[in-house]
Amino acid sequence: MRILVTGAASALGREIASALAADESAQLRLLDDCATQQQDVEWIAARLTDSDAVRQAVRDVDAVVHTGEPPPAPESEEVLLDRVTRGTHVLLQTAVEAGVKRFVYGSTLEVFRSYPDTVYVTEYYKPLPPPELAVLARYLGEITCREFAREHPITVTALRLGKLVREEEVAGQERDLMWVDIRDAAQAFCAALARDASASLNWVPRWAVYHIAAPIAHPKFLIDRAKSMGYRPQHEFRGAEA
């Protein structure tokens, strides 16, 4: 499978690329604003809002992994909003035109931050994003993905990610119910690539959203639906304080 990974210079992008590279049948193409280069991997240094560059990036690929992660260099709120909204639209539009059938997007569980920790939040709960541009922009990107799945024959999977950490680096800290190990998050992206309902005439099977969090006792975010998709988290944060 030929796969384009956006936000490839981010920690999540690198983790996803590493996980995908373990599959000898996967051919990777990496895209980000910076010119970071990895050996034996095709890199494209371009902004998502550059339609010509993105059109080249999606050419001949079977699937797109859109991490939703920002580039390493800081950017203004205006640039952030433009990248996440218009950039996601450009990426999806060019992917549809190129005949791509699978698209995975990295959304965020932060849209449920206002719910109390005593509530078990599933994918059927109404998102209540806080008035913070980083969260709102990520959610707008998710809505853009949903509308493309509604209108076009492309399978779109949104993964609402928890806070990305490494289990060993937060050992001894007070446990955060939104934590997810970045390695488990990368595995979720790999699993989501197996979904393909692009041939369905009904748009509902083409669109799916999953919560990606840690498999902890007494969680806030239920991950049963994600497990049915193939999510297999390995990090339970047993060393954190409850």
pLDDT band at residue 35, thresholds of 50, 70 and 90? low
The whole-number pLDDT of residue 79 equals 86
Mean pLDDT, range 212-241, rounded to an integer: 94
Residue 41 has pLDDT above 90, yes or no: no
Among 188, 207, 186, which residue's Cα sits nearest to residue 196?
207
The whole-number pLDDT of residue 33 equals 86
Mean pLDDT, range 183-199, rounded to an integer: 97
Residue 191 has pLDDT above 80, yes or no: yes
The two structure tokens encoding residue 170: 């937060």
Mean pLDDT, range 51-60, rounded to an integer: 96
The whole-number pLDDT of residue 37 equals 61
The whole-number pLDDT of residue 242 equals 66
Angle at 196 between CA 66 and CA 68, to 5 degrees: 10
Among 80, 82, 146, 139, which residue's Cα sits nearest to residue 111?
139
Helix, strand, coil percent values for the chain (each to nearest 5): 35, 20, 45
Q: Collapsing DSSP states into helix, strand and coil, what is residue 102?
A: strand
Residue 154 has pLDDT above 80, yes or no: yes
Residue 211 has pLDDT above 70, yes or no: yes
pLDDT tens track for 82-107: 989 999 999 999 999 999 999 999 99
User: Residue 229 phi/psi, 5° resolution?
Assistant: -85, -15
Among 40, 36, 44, which residue's Cα sits nearest to residue 24?
40
Cα 174 to Cα 134: distance, rounded to the nearest angstrom:
24
pLDDT band at residue 39, thresholds of 50, 70 and 90? low
List of residues 6+ apart from 166 with CB closer than 8 A: 181, 182, 183
Q: Which fold has domain 2-229?
A: Rossmann fold (3.40.50)
Mean pLDDT, range 113-122, rounded to an integer: 95
What value does the mean pLDDT of the chain take? 93
Q: If you search the block for the tokens 């449920």, which residue do you land on? A: 112
Among 30, 67, 33, which residue's Cα sits nearest to residue 49?
33
